[in-house]
Amino acid sequence: MKVKDFKWKKGIKVKEMVESFGNLGFQSIELAKASEVIVKMKKNSAKIFLTFTSNMVTSGLRGFFAQIVKLGMADVLVTTVGGLEEDIMKATGAKFDIGKFEADDVELHEQGVNRVGNLFINTESYMKFEDWIGPVLQQLYDKKKRWAVSELLKELGLLLDDENSILYQAAKNDVPVFCPAITDGAFGFHLYLFQQNHPDFVVDVVQDFGNILLCTSHDEKKGVIALGGSISKHHAILCTLLNGGAEFAVYLTTAHKTSGSMSGATTNEAKSWGKVKDDSDIATVIGDVTFTFPLAMIRALEQLDEEGLLNG
């Protein structure tokens, strides 16, 4: 394979552009490879685990994740609780603002604005979430007293009416959503408050660990698309480890392998644990997911659409 010059041409499709990255060099080659591995996951009927951290839902990727579920490109979702809160906030009318990384954070705090990078969330959005979640928890409690996390999240998705909502599309398309750290955010705080008045109300994280383990098997081919790191990434690949390892794995992250972190751990490192099989198709892309993931996934979607392999 030789390095080839990249040139723009009028009407170029994302598929053609990303494929040309395969001869460009550096991370562009990994990006093109990542897209190829995503296509292989689908063509080999692998169970696809899509994992992402909450900051990605703060961004405009939220609607893209929902669309991916609708198109049948994710069979299992694993995320952190902040993203679920913000999915509900946006589904019930909240709008987040684009600001600056260099904003005056003391001033923002005085104004009731919370910063996530260069995105701003008004404290009012959390207040409206509180108004929404309280009656919903009462509904769930009246229905039954003990819930596995993924069961609870499906019920929430069924209450939403927003095509761009991750929880809505997951519930509608019977895609389980796992959130092992359900208490690590505003949602967890409201679960705690509700339980003070309803001590028999239980959200069972351990039961849900069993649910994710049993959602696949040693015999089933498995693919992981991990965006960022954290507990969401590890929860999925721990599941694949205990089910014989993944045949396909794509990691996209800004973290570096030298940190020794889960966020920076590469697909090659995963082989030492058996989370990814020795002969698996893998790619690790270093870069901001807000542009690396859409490029890789859209190229895959265009190819699969041409071959009639998408749900709709």
pLDDT tens digits along 174-230:
999 999 999 999 999 999 999 999 999 999 999 999 999 999 999 999 999 999 998
Domain contains 104: no
Q: Which domain holds residue 210?
A: 14-93+146-186+196-306
Q: Model confidence over 279-295: pLDDT tens digits?
A: 889 999 999 999 999 99
* Inside any domain, residue 224: yes
- Is 129 a member of any domain? no
Buried-state track 167-190, b at ≥16 Cβ within 10 A, e below 16: bbbbbbbebbbbbbbbebbbbbeb
Does residue 9 form part of some domain?
Answer: no
Answer whether residue 125 is part of any domain: no
Alpha-carbon distances of 104 from 99, 108, 111, 115, rounded to whole Å: 11, 6, 11, 10
Residue 159 lies in a domain: yes
Residue 5 lies in a domain: no
Q: Are 179 and 153 in contact (CB under 8 A)?
A: yes
The model carries a pTM of 0.95
Per residue in 63-100, pLDDT tens? 999 999 999 999 999 999 999 999 999 999 999 999 99
Give the active site residue among 42, 90, 222, 275.
275
Instruction: Give me 194's structure tokens.
Output: 């509700």
Give the chain's domain count. Answer: 1
Q: Is 275 designated active site?
A: yes
Predicted confidence (pLDDT) at residue 312 exceeds the cutoff of 80: no
For residue 226, list its beta bridge partners.
51, 251
Q: Which tokens belong to 145?
A: 């007293």
- How many angstroms separate the most distant Cα atoms in the chain? 67
Residue 83: which CATH number? 3.40.910.10
Give the chain's mean pLDDT.
Answer: 95
Answer whether residue 41 is part of any domain. yes
